[in-house]
Structure 1
Amino acid sequence: MSPKVTLQDVADKAGVHRATAARAIRNETKISKEVRERVQKLANEMGYRVNPLVAALMQSRRNTRVSRHTVIAYVTNYPTRYGWRPPHIDRPDYFPGAQARAQELGYKLEHFWLGEPGMTPERFSNVLTTRGIHGLLMGRLPPKIEEARLLWERFSSVALGRTLRTPRLHYVTEDHYAGAALAVRQMIEKGFRRIGFVSTGRDDSPGVLNRWLGGFLREQLKLDAKNRITPFFFIPEPDTEKNPRQFGRWYDKWKPDALLVTEAPPFFEWLKTLKIRPREIPMATLVNERLDEKWTGIYCDHTLLGSLAVETLVGLMVRGETGIPEHPHEVLLSGKWMEGVTLGRKK
């Protein structure tokens, strides 16, 4: 695929400033007819296309409405100020991608912590309003917290991931169903038939496990009935060794030739408890963020997810859409299959 043509590419080719190229493409009469026609012709020949989101943003700036959109708040509610970021937690960090995209669009992304001492929903909302902040990007919430109470009518808001259940905002998240389905297809292509689905931890994003399981079961129907294995589900237990023992009994009963696990680290801990070497069981994981570990499985670019969330939020802000949406929607990003050393092909 050829690189996307940018406005700067057109300006360089035309021998004009980037701003001049932009005005010429908008057909502004302040730019001479000759320059307008030359730039427009080059843009068409080069395949340049105007980004509608950026165009809307720049139009709002020309209408002098940008002052209320300068800063976007990245809101978190972990027990500690930075508990939502690695290395404090083994979860994707969406902030860098969101911050970079915000800067590209002319915004500044700032972190705000709901856990500040003495903070209340009203005070938090007032702090943001006083600062002229009207866009909120809700980061992942910690386990067992599914609600955030703010004066939502003041803000344009988008949630990252699916941890926030109340209120129902617009979401930007991974397409978990498609990822699980893709993984099973890849495993079948490699010769595996008795594929076992293993849930290795709590479902801290409500509905994610169901989506993974739905994708797995849909593809499993393509296999002969004799190869359809009942999934294994993690059950929270005070006895930390109970789940590994239960998994061991499940594995001995069904004898899968490969496993699709929700997350790899707890699975490897189970194998250690059972004194099984990881290479003895072919495995792919649905959360394959640690690319340096060379696991096989589904990788979803958290940097791109953060970027998509900002784009979605800016669209709401430019259109002036605030409050809890009547019809919340999701933006889903498909994951990619990454080859590693944990699966191989069926021997």
Structure 2
Amino acid sequence: MATHLGMSRTTVSEALRDHPRVNPETRTLVQAHAREVGYQFNPLASSVLSEVRRTRLDTFRGVLATIGLEEPARVPFLGAYWHDLQRGAAERAEQLGFKLEKFIVGERGVSVQRLDTILRTRGIRGVLIMPAWNRPDFTQLSWTNYSGIYADYLIDQPALHTVCPDHPRAMGLAMRRVQELGYKRPGLALIEQESNRLDNRWLAAFLAYAHLHPELTPPAPLIMPQVSAELFKKWFRKYKPDVVIGHRAEMIKWMQECGARVPETHGFCSVNIGLNTGKLAGLDLQPRRIGERAIDMLISQIHHNFSGIPDLPCNTTVPALWADGPTLRAQK
């Protein structure tokens, strides 16, 4: 085919794979001729070539970027969760022949426009956007040049493929576990932004589980506009939950200031043990596995020469694991 069209084999190969390096007119010509001669893509051959590239790390190496936002309010994401997600992504990239480089967008980092120039200049085609406290805006990146994945639930500027924990399933796991431990009155306590940024998926799953288990008598959930010991203690004293389910480990101290003894009289279940220091009972959202899965998805896009904003952005979820800890009573 290359000889017939008077082109190099590389040009024909890249045109058949819709590589953006080949101009659209050439791609159209090559693909039209391929249809005429009955050419069909062979996925087995493609997978073999991908394996060759993967195992020849001394001669083939790509660069991917992880992008984080500098956010003063991003306190929860400064913990082990962010670090483990980044580590999982870096290790998976290394296994697949890629190096991961970190960029921070903000006053102490670079602007989105400057980042775009750096990525294009260095030929970096894959970007992994790290979890952000607020919904991130990366519309100013030249997305025709990049494949992108967001390692959290929702991004709409632009709408990319995402990978994140399975929050509803995780809440069901937490509720089932505290029920098995004998708690009858579980109380959900969240910061409003912690709930809103996930489209209230924690709250919805909590309410659904409570509705389906009438033997439980949970109080009205506490959704605080901001972190407030005063609001929490007022709610705790009024509604008397026997176990609190939430993000913030400081709630244990507030419970104790109300007379609770954890875990003797009351319990605390963390919906994300990776956001706190110290040993807690609760959910391991597997950030390392999320990082690995995000890189798998990103490199798959690159291998298929997909760049730009997807027509149908999809969300991939990773199941949580349960972690025993000293903040809940022991199994009877």
Q: Any idea what the Cα deviations from partners look like across 1:211-267, whole Å, max 9, x if unmatched?
A: 11122112111332771421111122xxx7xx3233223223322222222x13231
**1:264 aligns to what?**
248
Q: Any idea what the Cα deviations from partners look like across 1:269-311, whole Å, max 9, x if unmatched?
A: 4336546544442121101127973311111221111111100
Q: After the TM superposition, which of the residue ranges 252-261 and 174-183 deviates more from structure 2?
A: 252-261
**1:231 aligns to what?**
221
| SS, match of residue 307 in structure 2 | coil
**2:282 aligns to what?**
297
**Which residue type is aligned with residue 120 of structure 2?**
T
CA contact 2:135–2:197 (8 Å) conserved in 1: no
**1:169 aligns to what?**
160
1:61 Cα offset (Å): 7.4
Q: How does 1:6-25 map to 2 (within 5 A)?
A: none
1:313 Cα offset (Å): 0.3
How many positions carry a matched residue from both structures?
283
**1:109 aligns to what?**
100
% identity of equivalent residues: 25
Q: Does 1:152 align with 2:152?
A: no
1:165 Cα offset (Å): 3.6
Structure 2, gaps ≥5 residues long: 1-43
**2:67 aligns to what?**
75
**1:21 aligns to what?**
none
* TM-score using structure 2 length: 0.73
| SS, match of residue 92 in structure 1 | helix
Structure 1, gaps ≥5 residues long: 1-50
**Which residue type is aligned with residue 114 of structure 1?**
V
Say if 1:165 and 1:203 are closer, same or farther in 2 by CA, change over 3 A: farther
Q: Any idea what the Cα deviations from partners look like across 1:163-222, whole Å, max 9, x if unmatched?
A: 6441111111111111101110111122222211111463287125x1111221121113
Distance 2:76 2:185 in 1: 35
Distance 1:223 1:126 in 2: 55
Distance 1:230 1:269 in 2: 21
Say if 1:100 and 1:212 are closer, same or farther in 2 by CA, change over 3 A: same
**1:17 aligns to what?**
none
When the two chains are superposed, the root-mean-square deviation of aligned CA atoms in Å is 3.5
**1:219 aligns to what?**
209
Q: Any idea what the Cα deviations from partners look like across 1:1-34, whole Å, max 9, x if unmatched?
A: xxxxxxxxxxxxxxxxxxxxxxxxxxxxxxxxxx
Say if 1:322 and 1:267 are closer, same or farther in 2 by CA, change over 3 A: same
**2:297 aligns to what?**
312
| SS, match of residue 260 in structure 1 | strand
Q: How does 1:1-347 map to 2 (within 5 A)?
A: 55=48, 57-58=50-51, 70-78=62-70, 91-93=81-83, 94-115=85-106, 119-141=110-132, 143-144=133-134, 146-148=136-138, 149-162=140-153, 164-200=155-191, 202-203=193-194, 206-207=197-198, 210-224=200-214, 227-236=217-226, 243-261=228-246, 263-271=247-255, 274=258, 276-279=260-263, 280-289=265-274, 293-344=278-329
